[in-house]
């Protein structure tokens, strides 16, 4: 079965690299900012690179918040947030004065490192993930797999049950979340070679 997967275009993402990876599998990835496309999607990917406040402004300007709330919270279709896309699922961010989507009880905070020579901000490069719970998204992905990161902020959930992965970068931070149909990864699966492809394939098959 070919799923209709919509990659939400709100002017903040590396959309084509995500679409290119998804095109390797049996699915039909479409980049769109059309509410009708999002409403008809089987699954949704919310990518993103950039500033939290600007991202929320763009989503509101495009009138996408209501339709996203409907398909995610009411229809409970699977959604995967990538990097900034995951952060937008929280309540608010230290990056700008704007409320997030509020799907996850969490706040976005900036890295506060002490050893600034060893731990540069933004956090860029490969790092390991630890798996905190069983998940279809993590199927056949070994403990301590390496994914590619590029970020200065991370989502800090208030409920530990929502945390799927953690990663160490001087401190331990949340690198993936899962709450029912809502999933998010701080790392970039589209840039993480075979293990990233496995994660995207797992999402398609959920």
Write the pLDDT tens digit of every residue in 51-99: 999 999 999 999 999 999 999 999 999 999 999 999 999 999 999 888 9
CA distances from 70 to 13, 33, 75, 130, 195 (A): 22, 15, 6, 32, 31
Q: Which residue has the tokens 């049996």?
A: 26
Which residue among the candidates 27, 83, 95, 178 is catalytic per the annotation? 83
CA distance 86 to 14: 14
128: annotated active-site residue: no
Q: Spell out the residues 6+ positions from residue 71 whose beta carbon is closer than 8 angstroms to its own.
A: 38, 39, 41, 44, 77, 79
Residue 27 banded pLDDT, cuts 50, 70, 90 = confident
Residue 2 banded pLDDT, cuts 50, 70, 90 = low
For residue range 138-155, list pLDDT tens digits in order. Answer: 999 999 999 999 999 999
DSSP 20: H
Question: Cα(first)–Cα(last) distance of the chain, in Å?
Answer: 12
CATH of domain 3-205: 3.40.50.880
For residue range 147-196, list pLDDT tens digits in order. Answer: 999 999 999 999 999 999 999 999 999 999 999 999 999 999 999 999 99
> What tokens appear for 44 in the block?
């949704």
Cβ-contact 73, 103 below 8 angstroms: yes
179 preceded by a cis bond (ω within 30 of 0): no
143: annotated active-site residue: no
Three-state DSSP state, 11:
coil
Beta bridge partners of 82: 185
Cβ-contact 143, 96 below 8 angstroms: no
CA distance 79 to 155: 16
Which residue among the candidates 95, 146, 188, 193 is catalytic per the annotation? 188
178: annotated active-site residue: no
Cβ-contact 10, 31 below 8 angstroms: no
Q: Where exactly are the structural domains of the chain?
A: 3-205
Which residue among the candidates 70, 146, 190, 197 is catalytic per the annotation? 190
């Amino acid at each position: 079965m070919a799923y209709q997967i919509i990659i939400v275009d709100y002017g903040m993402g590396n959309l084509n690299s995500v679409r290119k990876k998804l095109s390797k599998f049996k699915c039909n990835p479409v980049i769109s900012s059309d509410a009708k496309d999002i409403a008809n999607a089987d699954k949704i990917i919310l990518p993103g690179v950039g500033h939290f406040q600007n991202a929320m402004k763009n989503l509101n300007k495009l009138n996408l918040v209501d339709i996203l709330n409907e398909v995610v919270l009411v229809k409970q279709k699977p959604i995967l947030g990538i990097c900034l896309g995951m952060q937008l699922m929280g309540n608010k961010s230290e990056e700008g004065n704007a409320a997030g989507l509020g799907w996850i009880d969490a706040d976005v905070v900036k890295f506060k490192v002490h050893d600034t020579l060893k731990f540069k901000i933004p956090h860029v490069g490969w790092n390991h993930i630890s798996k905190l719970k069983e998940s279809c998204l993590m199927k056949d992905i070994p403990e301590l797999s390496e994914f590619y990161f590029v970020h200065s902020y991370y989502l800090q959930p208030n409920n530990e049950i929502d945390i799927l992965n953690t990663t160490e970068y001087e401190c331990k931070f949340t690198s993936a979340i899962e709450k029912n149909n809502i999933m998010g990864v701080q790392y970039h699966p589209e840039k993480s070679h075979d293990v990233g492809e496995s994660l995207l394939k797992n999402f398609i098959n959920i």
